[in-house]
Amino acid sequence: MNEMAVLLKPVLATLLGGAVCGIVGVWVVLLNIPFVGVAMSHSAFAGAIFGLLVGVDPLIPALLFCVGASCLIGPIAERGDFEPGVALGVIFALMLGLAFLGVGLLKGPRTEALNFIWGNILLTSRRDLILLGVLLFILVGFLVVLNKEVKAVLFNREIARAVGVPERAIFFALVMLCGLVVSVNLDTIGGLLIFSLIVSPASAAYQITYRLKTMYLLSIGFAVGSCVAGLVLSWLFNLPTGAVIICIASLIFALALLFSPKRRVQRKLG
Amino acid sequence: MLIPGFASPVAVDIQDVKVSYYEHIALRHVSLQIGRGEFVGVIGPNGAGKTTLLTVINGLGRIHSGTVKIFGERLDRRNIRFWRSRIGYVPQSLKVDPRVPVSCLEAVVIGASGRLGIFRRVGQVEVKKAEMLMDFFHILNLRNRPVGQVSGGEMQKVALARALLQEPEILLLDEPTSNLDPPSVEELTGFITSIYQRFNLTVIMVTHQIEHLPAVCQRLVLVKKGRVVFVGNRDEGLRPDRLKGLFSNE
């Protein structure tokens, strides 16, 4: 009974964390910006380290760094006529530099700082759950209200712009929401591992379905499934939870790729 | 909705427009007027600035100087989305990943997104209109097929249907017949003629293949090295010596 009570919060965190990662993963995969997860996770990591340095709640600067980075990525890509991947690369390098600078400046043991890299889902707090719940509500609300705009941008950004959709604003919003997902999951899943949890389940879903709605559902299902299975296995075999979650997410992707009906169609199309 | 600007007899008014990408000047002080209801063909060799000319009309291309007016209203940040939602645009052979989870019907319905505005959802009315347009272009059988898995000709029909769902005042066609086999070119040219006559549109069609211009196109704009070198009627524009000069390397 006691063990069950201890596991309740982590289980809820995996369900909510998996759901939010599954949703933004679809955007990352369809917009072909997988690097966004890396750049955002490093921004959140740099922000959290900054929080430790100045003695404030790490979540707040992590959120601010992510929002700041997402605000920079879009305009850098637009102004410089770069691909978003190039802008992401620039931000990623900057944030990595800032993060390690911060780690270097930290006094005493750096255990707390390193926790942001790997996370610890077993230490999920009530606040983490509330934040994840609010974030899931925001993401679903965003999708419901701006469904046709998001769909147009995911299909083709140039076409979306040409038909009069506020494509730039929607794209920036999608990147910013990715940043929020990374920041909020920093404590639980960890800055480095979250990248895989965003990309792998959505990529697996992409191999299976031709319907966007189904892709969202599959992506959420795969992400939640990876999290729950990872949690249970790590609990049973005393393994690092985050690492097990990522291994399972990667395994699901490998299976989806292996049995993908789309690959057969592609082979037929030549 | 009655829009005052739509009363103007001039659909597109480009004045002294310059567009450059770093050192490359794509358009050099171009001025051009296109009347309401005209079908204008824009011809020129590759890299002449034809596509750039189209994209300054719907604001997808950034201009460095000059002005663009649509139905007498100057294009700027405040009205750009409004006009984009009323200017149909068919880009040159859109490449779509065959795995993209978007059906042909959904790709057509995207055309209604701008006109509906934010917060209004796509309803049955838009879906019905999209299906009618797909039926018109003989692609209703593709409604559930992933849009990345259709042929080049079918993709262009999807793009035309999407552009028409915008209920546009102006239709911009960027090499719509390029990379198509001769029967598909003939079919698509027939459709373009038909929609021009049926929907009372102003059509601007870019091509470097003169034989692909429909017969209803009676006015030509010849473009070379970023400059408009001729504006006039079709027969005059297609004079052999003029075309030889247009496509020569000088």
- CB pair distance less than 8 Å for A163 and B162: yes
DSSP per-residue letters across B21-82: ETTEEEEEEEEEEEETT-EEEEE--TTSSHHHHHHHHTT-SPPSEEEEEETTEE--TTTHHH
- Please tell me which of the candidates A145, A166, A215 has its beta carbon nearest to residue B81: A166
Residue among A121, A104, A142 at smallest CA distance from A26: A142
Q: Is residue B242 scored above 70 in pLDDT? A: yes
Å from B148 to nearest chain A CA? 10
Element (H, E) at B220: strand B219-224
Q: Are B217 and B173 in contact (CB under 8 A)?
A: no
State chain A's mean pLDDT as an integer.
86
Residue among B72, B74, B41, B43 at smallest CA distance from B56: B74
For chain A, positions 197-256, list CB contacts with chain B under 8 A: 206-207, 209-212, 214-215
Q: Are B168 and B82 in contact (CB under 8 A)?
A: no
Mean pLDDT lowest for which of A10-19, A86-95, B53-62? A86-95
Beta pairing class for B10-21 and B24-35? antiparallel
Tokens describing residue A79 = 């102004």
Q: Are B129 and A182 in contact (CB under 8 A)?
A: no
Domain harbouring A134, CATH code: 1.10.3470.10
- Please tell me which of the candidates B96, B114, B149 has its beta carbon nearest to residue A165: B114
Q: Are A242 and A32 in contact (CB under 8 A)?
A: no
Mutate to test the interface with A, among B110, B142, B156 (most CBs of A within 10 A): B110
Contacts across the A-B interface (CB distance below 8 Å): 94
Mean pLDDT of B68-79: 93
Q: Is residue A219 scored above 80 in pLDDT? A: yes
A110 contact B CB<8A:
no
Element (H, E) at B84: helix B80-84
- Please tell me which of the candidates B81, B121, B146 has its beta carbon nearest to residue A147: B121
Q: What is the pLDDT of residue A74?
A: 66
Q: What is the pLDDT of residue A268?
A: 63
- CB pair distance less than 8 Å for A210 and B114: no
Q: Strand, coil or helix: what is B222?
A: strand
Q: What is the pLDDT of residue B192?
A: 95
For residue A102, CA distances in Å to A47, A98, A117, A183, B214 come to 9, 6, 14, 17, 66
Residue A163: its chain B contacts at CB < 8 A?
A: 84-85, 89, 110-111, 113-115, 162, 166
Residue A144: its chain B contacts at CB < 8 A?
A: none
Å from B47 to nearest chain A CA? 19
Q: Tell me the pLDDT band of B22, cut-offs 50, 70 and 90.
A: confident
Q: What is the pLDDT of residues A56-106, one digit of tens each?
A: 988 889 889 988 887 787 667 666 566 667 777 888 888 889 988 988 888
- CB pair distance less than 8 Å for A161 and B84: yes
A196 contact B CB<8A:
no
Count of alpha carbons within 13 angstroms of residue B230, beta-carbon side? 20
- Please tell me which of the candidates B85, B89, B119 has its beta carbon nearest to residue A145: B119
Q: Are A190 and A117 in contact (CB under 8 A)?
A: yes
Domain definitions of chain B by residue range: 96-167
Residue among A60, A64, A86, A65 at smallest CA distance from A74: A86
Residue among A182, A207, A190, A213 at smallest CA distance from A35: A182
Q: How many domains does chain A have?
A: 1
Mean pLDDT of A236-246: 87
Residue among A36, A38, A66 at smallest CA distance from A51: A66
Sheet arrangement for strand B39-43: B87-90, B170-174, B202-207, B39-43, B219-224, B227-233
CA–CA separation, B191 vs B136, rounded Å? 9
Q: What is the pLDDT of residues B86-122, one digit of tens each?
A: 999 999 878 888 889 999 999 999 999 999 988 888 9
Q: Tell me the pLDDT band of A183, cut-offs 50, 70 and 90.
A: confident
> In chain B, pLDDT over 70 holds for what percent of residues?
96
Sheet arrangement for strand B65-70: B24-35, B10-21, B65-70, B73-74
Q: What is the pLDDT of residues B196-227, one digit of tens each?
A: 998 889 999 999 888 899 999 989 999 999 99
The nearest alpha carbon in chain A to B83 belongs to A164
Q: What's the domain range around A45? A: 2-269
CA–CA separation, B130 vs B122, rounded Å? 11
Mutate to test the interface with B, among A82, A159, A257 (most CBs of B within 10 A): A159
Residue B101: its chain A contacts at CB < 8 A?
A: 30, 206, 209-212, 214-215
Q: Is B155 left (phi over 0), alpha (psi -120 to 50) or beta?
A: alpha
Residue B86: its chain A contacts at CB < 8 A?
A: 164
Beta pairing class for B170-174 and B87-90? parallel
Residue among B30, B22, B24, B37 at smallest CA distance from B55: B30
